Structure 1
Amino acid sequence: MPGRAAISRGGPSAPGPAIAAGSGRQRLPGPARSRTGFPRPGPAGRPPPDRGDRPPPGQNGEVSTNRRAPGVAAALTITRMTDGVVGAIRGLFRGRGRAEETDRADRAEADLARVDAEITAFGEALAAHPFVPDHDVHEPALLDDYRRALDAYERAKRDFVGDRDLRDAADVLRALDAGRHALACLDAALDGRPRPHRLPLCFFDPRHGRAAEEVRWAPAGGTVRTVAVCAADAVRLMEGRAPIESGLREPERPAAPAPRSRTSTPPVPRTPPAPEAYEAWPAHTGERQRREGRGGAEILLHRTGANEPAVLVVHLERPEGSWVELDGPPGEGRPRQPLTHASVLTRAVVPVPADGQPGIRLRMHTGKRWRAWLHPVDALPSLDPLFLDDGLSSAGSYVLRHPGGRERFRVTQHSGSAFALHLLRPDFRPGEALCEGEGAFTRTVVTPRKPGLLYVRSRGTWTLTPAGGPGKRAAG
């Protein structure tokens, strides 16, 4: 055709490349390329034909891509089908995972709702209780029971903030259990019945329920202790197995948690703050069991019974040049000195065993004011680890009421010389020493299972602090 150069038809005999006149492009012989850039398969037994002898359908000799080889199309179809199946499987697992997460969240919310309802019910029981505390009317033991119940309610509400599941609410369950027991003790005392004794919730996890018995157990690398556990854990420990795995741990609360929405709780009456233990004689202390005065004197405090032991409390206005002598039973040598002239202490709390005498004789050597009384045993301060977050700090001798149950405490003497923590026998004579030390020291002790009285012998300052355990806060 005029104006166009003839296209050289290269064949098998053409040794070199064919150049189309006027195109400016060079076509090399060889197998044609597919969209992917790989050679398209040709007939078996011979190479793909050279397509250089036919003009390309595209402009400027470009190869058209509108047609695909059957093998490539099949491969693409299989790939797409595989991708679809894989996507469907992934979607199935994602859906199942989301469903499991939703179920866990629903269960956690239901568990927290039950705990919330328990807090509300306990608050309503406190608000509806007929007891109205009065320091001038009620004995300190009643006020102590009521205060423990109120403190447990406040602690349960405070610890519930930010809880995400029942595991986080373990401390709430323990607080509610202690509060219910305190309220039961109050009811028993008001009815003239003995205060009930109860084992706490399972040591390893309060979700296991009430402890059934006490067993000996030691944590990894720790010392052996006696703990109250549920029946299932008791069997596992007896068989040499670990307790039921629950993953219970100390809750990791956010620094500033947002309060969960919860049902409104009724206002709970507050008891007026109690005076510090042993700072004043209880309101129900008899007139024959208390004395106060000024200057040197010899006094007689009458026991409530000739064969009943007593707890003597002595206060001096100043320690300089002052001391107190306590006459002991005949034949026991020199009089005891609860407060010596060399001491800087102004208060002493000492047990006085029964000696068959109707009274206790004291000699006050001082030029200032003094007070002395026999402290009612039912009004002794209680050693309850749940409500001693900051520890119990004092100086000198001291007597405590132990409510029962194995609990770990850290004993620290900050100053002074000899120190001893004794169990008191029924006649109020010092028994087994739970802890002894000299000067400044820290020891860990375990209280006995049975309730009783503890006696601190010291002339320095000291602190008793709960040492904590699994699922419980360790007080500082």
Structure 2
Amino acid sequence: MFAGPYGMIAIMGAGVGGGWRRLWSWRGRDESALAEIEADITAFGEALDVHPFSPGQPGATDEMRAELARALDAYEQAKRDSAGGRTRADTLDVLRALDDGRHALACLDALLAGRPLPERLPLCYFDARHGRAVQQVSWTPPGGVARNIAVCAADTVRLAEGAGPVIARPAPSDAARVRRGGATPGSTATAAARPPQSQVSGTGSSGEQAHQLRMPPYRPAVMVFSSSGRADVRLRFEGRKGRSSRLYRLSGDGVPLTARIPLLGNRTIAFHVFADGGRDAWTATAAPLREVPRFHDEINGRGSDVVHYRGEPGPGVLHYAGPGRIELEALDDRLAYWATVAESRAGECTFQWPGRGYYQVRSAGAWSLSAMGRTEDS
């Protein structure tokens, strides 16, 4: 359970992280690969069974219980996904679920030991079966343009030595995508429909191309959108209702960005990317609420973002240094728009915090939020 400004709600989900011990080449009905998947599911289930944490033990917190719930949900999701288990897509779904669960347990262990939560990186760009990425590198696909991607340790070494990455199928060049009727990253041509994924990447503007992001099994959830470049990025979502889910301007002052956006939907989220003046690589990932930055007294940011206020109800200060207007919106238990808390132009304004919970900042430039007087986390 967690406390929002409107009461207590349950969180069910899975984190991401960890890695895999083995790598196999995929074949349509590779029984040895399926056997290894089943063994991994069994091993993770055993790790859950023997884990010493109990939700009712002294000192247990809501955050610890949420991480355990995410691990359990990931285990159940892996079992459901393995029921198909006869295609490469089925295999990757199982691996991602197990990876989610392993990282949830790692976060639980960190909370129990009083350590910072483990850093999260996406799965390897070239093949999710490689496991967790360890580094961002620059890579140029054949016939394409240079982009920053997250890769596993093995591919980091291969690329540094001038060798190619290990991938299940050759990565199509940008030119090849055009020949097949698709769109290059950053083009405005309509691309062939792609299966929804829990992580989507591209370069520059997508124009009319709709990217398909698969909703995670847990709710609520956010999209973490990151770009290593300095373009002014806007996202437009299809079929969303409510003012907090249609159009987002993520950065307005020309710096690399990482922003969070509420994910409202059932299975698939369709969105378009518009990046003015740049063809920089970007990544959009479905993520649990722990990816939202928390604060008690003060937080700074740029462009639109989601923040988690952990202070008490009371007066607050909003300072804005960007163009146009800025709005601070309170979100409900589903991360949908609930009420506008503050709105202003450049300068400083005061407002009232309704209480702890998640808030949406909508702006095109630099901002800061603070509570007037020190608050304490209970």
TM-score interval for Structure 1 and Structure 2 normalised by the shorter chain: 0.3 to 0.5
Structure number with greater CO (CA < 8 Å, separation at least 6) is: 2
Give the TM-score of the pair, scaled to structure 2.
0.41
Which has the greater radius of gyration? 1
Give the TM-score of the pair, scaled to structure 1.
0.33
Question: Which structure shows the higher strand fraction?
Answer: 2
